[in-house]
Structure 1
Amino acid sequence: MSKPLEILQKYWNHDAFRTPQEEVIASVLSGKDTFVLMPTGGGKSITFQVPAMMMDGICLVISPLIALMKDQVANLHNRGIKAIALTGGIHQDEIIDLLDNCEFGNFKFLYVSPERLQNDWILERIKNLPVNLIAVDEAHCVSQWGHDFRPAYLKISKLKEYFPKIPFLALTASATKRVQEDIIAQLELEKPAVFTKSFARENLAYMVFNVEDKLHLMEQILKKNKQPSIIYVTNRKACTDTVRQLQSLGFSSTYYHGGLSSKEKDNHMKLWMDEKVQIMVATNAFGMGIDKANVKTVLHLHIPPNLENYYQEAGRAGRNGEKAFAVLLTNPSDVIHVESQFLSILSDKAFLNLVFLKLCNYFQIAYGEGIDEKFNFNINHFCTKYSLPIVKVYNALQFLDRQAIINLSQEFSEKITLQFIIPSKEVMRYMSLHKQDEEIILTVLRNNPGIYDSQSIINVSLIAKKSNSDENKVMAILHKLHEKQVIELHAKNNDATITFNEVREDERTINRVAKYLDVQNKLKISQLKSVVDYIKEDKICKNKLLLNYFGETIAKDCGVCSYCISKKKTKTNFAILHEKIIGLLEIQELDSRDIQKLTKYPKDDVIFALQNLLETDSIIVKSNNNYSIKIQK
């Protein structure tokens, strides 16, 4: 049998393991249940992929993240390793074919969502597979105290009955002590080997700045650190607005959010990965599988919902081991705004029931029907139709997704339908006069019987592949045919797809999961409070605060965070600063930013000095926010 390092070198081209990858692999190979807490970027997937390649049979990987499953399967394929993912929206016949491949095709990895394991017939098929390892990714989802609880995870332990001698490997990147203990209990891990890698990042400086002008400080930070950077914002509009502001300041930047098509995401990502632009502005949709070692700065313009998310996003900086910065910018109104907004978008049972009822009506699903039906979905259109608040609806849909009632796939799609509106003889005549279009038109006709009779959905990528063309050319020809009134063409953009995992039962459906809603709402409020405490606390090292949240205690301050830096500053002599400000204002009127630049004192000290001078009537502030000497009468 090959050794772990040989497998790592052969398939992943790495010469050494990171701590504690090798120890985890040894535990798995010895047949022990194993729990791993390894912060983001630590290489968790290697700990199940390498041992699975060393053993006969197939590794069952359970993950809730469709995008991550697809990403890992694609990466394995690129390494010449056979892998399959049973993602949402796949019809039963296709699932049967995929499971046949797993059983008879020498596949090494089968990725499934926990919801798939709730289908008895799928579970029956999996029971017959030669499973050599069961890896539970995002294992914090099994705990009600985790930041992404999914009830379907509670059923995973049932696999112990069918595979009593097969080791379980539970993996998570962020879990408090309470959640760690809950994971081990809920998955029924038997005397597991436990590996927890410290959350400490010695090269990462955590900075929190309370400023009135975020854009100005952001500009200063990015000018000082010109290496690749990520700026996290809360929504799509903020993505494009921030990019526009950055470009006006001379910074090269692009953006990434869930509303982009796969091609747009890839193009924007490549610009940043190839360092043709310095800055990626993104929502939390950005991050899956991102492995760029030289990110210097991760900057949050808005308050994140919990410290688990913040730690993971901030941790994308400095993976090369060099000093890097995780900066969180707030202003005095942020905390008040985020707390009031946060409470206003939490769903109660009545609102959840309303959204589900409207969703079923929107797609015309009859009572007792709808299971496995898949629909394109535009949330803006849905909310406009029923006069519902978008963010609150989105949160309700996410909750329904986590409860496995629906599958919400936030993958941008463009639904193309067309119908030929001239007789087939006329179509043949058109092709004889336009030979350059013939192959694509014939491919459309061959793959869509009935296209003369009604609107048919067109798979543009399939047409492009079968006609040895590309998607842009296919679309160009379809638009030309539409203009020449050969076809009637409809193209509709959608933010997402929704698959119904259950039959419609209205209140009975919601009643079953409502018990989790109250617990999750209380947890979210508690988590937001932890973020606010992290921001407001100005007498404790920021690194200490974060580590303490995740159950680690350290004695020494980090020496590099915003708190530690503030301690090192020499005490300002305000008498001298007052004199300098008076001297400058005797020459001309200035605003606070100009005064700070000219005096070269810290911004907070300048503001404090200006307040003192205003209180003593030494200066005045004008309507244009400029300061000047008060003229004595």
Structure 2
Amino acid sequence: MHPVELLERYWNHTSFRPLQEEIITSVIEKNDVFVLLPTGGGKSLCFQIPALIHEGICIVISPLIALMKDQVNTLKQKGIKSIALTSGISYAELDTLLDNCIYGNYKFLYLSPERLQQPIVQERIQQMNVSLIAVDEAHCISQWGNDFRPAYAQIGQLRQWHPHVNVIALTATAKTEVIEDTIQALDLLDPKLFKGSFYRANVCFSVIKTNDKLFHLEQLLNKHKGSSIIYVRNRKGTEELQNYLSGKGFSAAAYHGGITNKDKQDRLNDWLNERVSIMVATTAFGMGIDKANVSSVIHYHLPESLESYYQEAGRAGRNGADAQAVILTKKTDEDQLKQQFLGSLPSVADIKLIYNKLCNYFQISYGEGHQTVHQFNFKDFCKTYKLPATKTYNALLVLDRNSIISLNQRFSYRTSIQFICSNEEVFKYTEKHPNAEPAIKSLLRTYGGIFDFETKVNLELVAS
């Protein structure tokens, strides 16, 4: 069946958006492809239609459970057999679902990079008739990406198991070095690169510098009455701002990683179905959520990067109607952001200092020690020289990348951990056991899949 026929049959459209048809044709021709399209540009169709044309199952690596559920539910509604390996699946159910992918004529298998690390998943994928490998939010694979996730670095295994299957990598945000790093990490062969225009004529982008954010926020919300997203830096801030807006008569809900899965789903459904107008959320909200009539995206705090800002702001005005994307900022926001991110990045002087301290720690003369092997206690090293753990760790990674030192693989990953209770139960536990709170928060911040599967962690880094 021709791509346009599939588009009309399943999506009720008679023509593609810009670049979609060229990308789909290239994928059908079995090329490796890297796709850079703006948020709302229709990236999913670029692998879904080729997968429907070819025999076999398409493996889709996706970073968020919400994104997987949303896309799989949409495909199922169209009568397309699809499976998502989400959290809460028992081992027996996982076993059955994977067998269905091998024998049940399914077209799509969605899973996270962390799920891909499970031995049973790896074993069964090697038995599948794979037609295409799609890596969504591919910038996460790059160490230079703003959403770097270590488990993404292992996706290249799929290429080893199915060397003759082509790969499509998709993202809405990637600088040149991220694209190059991602292409190398995925071992893309002579990839065709497609870059769409990021110009959004219907979205008004603005920055308001003010010492009274709440006043300007109310003005913006009163002026634009439709659905809105307000991005806040932390969980506590979402609750406080939601309570403030509700007290002012606005219809608002809070969304963050600390609420139960049921509350997340209920609040999301309320917002999607117009029962709530305003979603006050951390940046975890929005990826993979398809709501066309968002009239305002407001950043109450400065976004983490230009790439993440464009991705988040791009959720405004997907229906083509006029919309606004606004940053509210004051001087202290800039100082806090610099302290949060720049404080963990080592300077050249920091890297030289760490190298000198390493030589002292191992009692090696400066410039000597070639090909020698040493046992390294990271926590003791930081304690001995009173070094900040995160900056020191990043400095060691820089030395490793530049072949000054060679870190054993065990340095980064030693122990596997999985939280088998809910988010809510974890936070209740930390309230009762405050001594455990720093370590638990460090685990939650660093390892995104720790609630869903066994996740390899660096205990020395967490402990420090």
Unaligned runs of 5+ in 2: 347-353, 355-377, 380-388, 391-413
Whether 2:237 is the aligned partner of 1:238: answer yes
1:41-190 superposed matches below 5 A: 41-88=40-87, 90-190=89-189
For 2:194, the equivalent position in structure 1 comes to 195
1:215-614 superposed matches below 5 A: 215-340=214-339, 350=379, 374-376=420-422, 377-379=425-427, 381-382=429-430, 385-387=433-435, 394-401=441-448, 407-408=449-450, 497=451, 499-502=453-456, 506-507=459-460
State how far apart, in whole Å, the 2-side matches of 1:395 and 1:39 are.
32
**For the structure 1 residues 325 and 369, does the alpha-carbon distance in structure 2 shift closer, same or farther, using more than 3 Å as the test?**
closer
Which digits, 9 at most, give the CA deviation of each residue in 1:40-74, with x for residues without a partner?
A: 11121111111111111111112232232222222
Letter in 1 for 2:98: L
Letter in 2 for 1:38: L
State how far apart, in whole Å, the 2-side matches of 1:369 and 1:295 are.
43
State how far apart, in whole Å, the 2-side matches of 1:295 and 1:373 are.
35
**For the structure 1 residues 123 and 262, does the alpha-carbon distance in structure 2 shift closer, same or farther, using more than 3 Å as the test?**
closer
State how far apart, in whole Å, the 2-side matches of 1:122 and 1:274 are.
36
Q: Is the 8 A contact 1:33 1:191 kept in 2?
A: yes
State how far apart, in whole Å, the 1-side matches of 2:251 and 2:93 are.
44
State how far apart, in whole Å, the 1-side matches of 2:263 and 2:47 are.
32
Q: Is the 8 A contact 1:206 1:326 kept in 2?
A: yes
Once the two structures are TM-superposed, the CA of residue 33 in structure 1 deviates from its matched residue by 0.7
Provide the alpha-carbon RMSD of the alignment.
3.2
State how far apart, in whole Å, the 2-side matches of 1:199 and 1:243 are.
31
Q: Is the 8 A contact 1:89 1:374 kept in 2?
A: no
**For the structure 1 residues 505 and 215, does the alpha-carbon distance in structure 2 shift closer, same or farther, using more than 3 Å as the test?**
closer
Further displaced range: 285-294 or 49-58: 285-294
For 1:487, the equivalent position in structure 2 comes to none
Once the two structures are TM-superposed, the CA of residue 181 in structure 1 deviates from its matched residue by 1.3
Q: Is the 8 A contact 2:70 2:289 kept in 1?
A: no
Letter in 2 for 1:399: T
State how far apart, in whole Å, the 2-side matches of 1:30 and 1:395 are.
45
Secondary structure (helix, strand or coil) at the match of 2:182 reads helix
State how far apart, in whole Å, the 1-side matches of 2:417 and 2:267 are.
36
**For the structure 1 residues 257 and 346, does the alpha-carbon distance in structure 2 shift closer, same or farther, using more than 3 Å as the test?**
farther
Q: Is the 8 A contact 1:89 1:499 kept in 2?
A: no
Q: Is the 8 A contact 1:142 1:153 kept in 2?
A: yes
For 2:32, the equivalent position in structure 1 comes to 33
Which digits, 9 at most, give the CA deviation of each residue in 1:432-453, with x for residues without a partner?
A: xxxxxxxxxxxxxxxxxxxxxx
State how far apart, in whole Å, the 2-side matches of 1:322 and 1:286 are.
22
Q: Is the 8 A contact 2:34 2:194 kept in 1?
A: yes
Letter in 2 for 1:141: C
**For the structure 1 residues 186 and 17, does the alpha-carbon distance in structure 2 shift closer, same or farther, using more than 3 Å as the test?**
same
Once the two structures are TM-superposed, the CA of residue 293 in structure 1 deviates from its matched residue by 2.2
**For the structure 1 residues 21 and 332, does the alpha-carbon distance in structure 2 shift closer, same or farther, using more than 3 Å as the test?**
same
Unaligned runs of 5+ in 1: 353-367, 402-406, 409-496, 518-633
State how far apart, in whole Å, the 1-side matches of 2:446 and 2:167 are.
27
Q: Is the 8 A contact 2:415 2:459 kept in 1?
A: no
State how far apart, in whole Å, the 2-side matches of 1:374 and 1:227 are.
39
**For the structure 1 residues 158 and 125, does the alpha-carbon distance in structure 2 shift closer, same or farther, using more than 3 Å as the test?**
same
Letter in 2 for 1:398: R
State how far apart, in whole Å, the 1-side matches of 2:246 and 2:153 are.
48
Tell which structure's C-alpha radius of gyration is larger: 1
Once the two structures are TM-superposed, the CA of residue 175 in structure 1 deviates from its matched residue by 0.6
Q: Is the 8 A contact 2:447 2:455 kept in 1?
A: no
Secondary structure (helix, strand or coil) at the match of 1:135 reads strand
Once the two structures are TM-superposed, the CA of residue 329 in structure 1 deviates from its matched residue by 0.7
Which digits, 9 at most, give the CA deviation of each residue in 1:16-43, with x for residues without a partner?
A: 2211211111111111111101121112
Equivalent pairs, count: 400
**For the structure 1 residues 384 and 302, does the alpha-carbon distance in structure 2 shift closer, same or farther, using more than 3 Å as the test?**
farther
State how far apart, in whole Å, the 1-side matches of 2:220 and 2:251 are.
14
State how far apart, in whole Å, the 1-side matches of 2:141 and 2:13 are.
32
Secondary structure (helix, strand or coil) at the match of 1:102 reads helix
1:198-213 superposed matches below 5 A: 198-213=197-212
State how far apart, in whole Å, the 2-side matches of 1:249 and 1:121 are.
52
Which digits, 9 at most, give the CA deviation of each residue in 1:465-520, with x for residues without a partner?
A: xxxxxxxxxxxxxxxxxxxxxxxxxxxxxxxx464335x9954xx59xx9xx9xxx
Q: Is the 8 A contact 2:115 2:453 kept in 1?
A: no
Once the two structures are TM-superposed, the CA of residue 400 in structure 1 deviates from its matched residue by 3.3
For 1:563, the equivalent position in structure 2 comes to none
Structure with bigger RCO (C-alpha 8 Å, 6+ apart): 2
Q: TM-score, normalised by structure 2?
A: 0.77
Q: TM-score, normalised by structure 1?
A: 0.58
Secondary structure (helix, strand or coil) at the match of 2:154 reads helix
State how far apart, in whole Å, the 2-side matches of 1:309 and 1:303 are.
11
**For the structure 1 residues 21 and 222, does the alpha-carbon distance in structure 2 shift closer, same or farther, using more than 3 Å as the test?**
same
Once the two structures are TM-superposed, the CA of residue 313 in structure 1 deviates from its matched residue by 1.3
Secondary structure (helix, strand or coil) at the match of 1:293 reads coil
Once the two structures are TM-superposed, the CA of residue 271 in structure 1 deviates from its matched residue by 3.5
Runs of 4+ in 1 over 6 A off after TM superposition: 343-349, 368-373
State how far apart, in whole Å, the 2-side matches of 1:35 and 1:266 are.
32
Which digits, 9 at most, give the CA deviation of each residue in 1:307-330, with x for residues without a partner?
A: 222111111112122332111111
Which digits, 9 at most, give the CA deviation of each residue in 1:104-145, with x for residues without a partner?
A: 111111123333444455333212211111111121122111
For 2:362, the equivalent position in structure 1 comes to none
**For the structure 1 residues 58 and 144, does the alpha-carbon distance in structure 2 shift closer, same or farther, using more than 3 Å as the test?**
same
Letter in 2 for 1:279: I
Q: Is the 8 A contact 1:375 1:499 kept in 2?
A: no
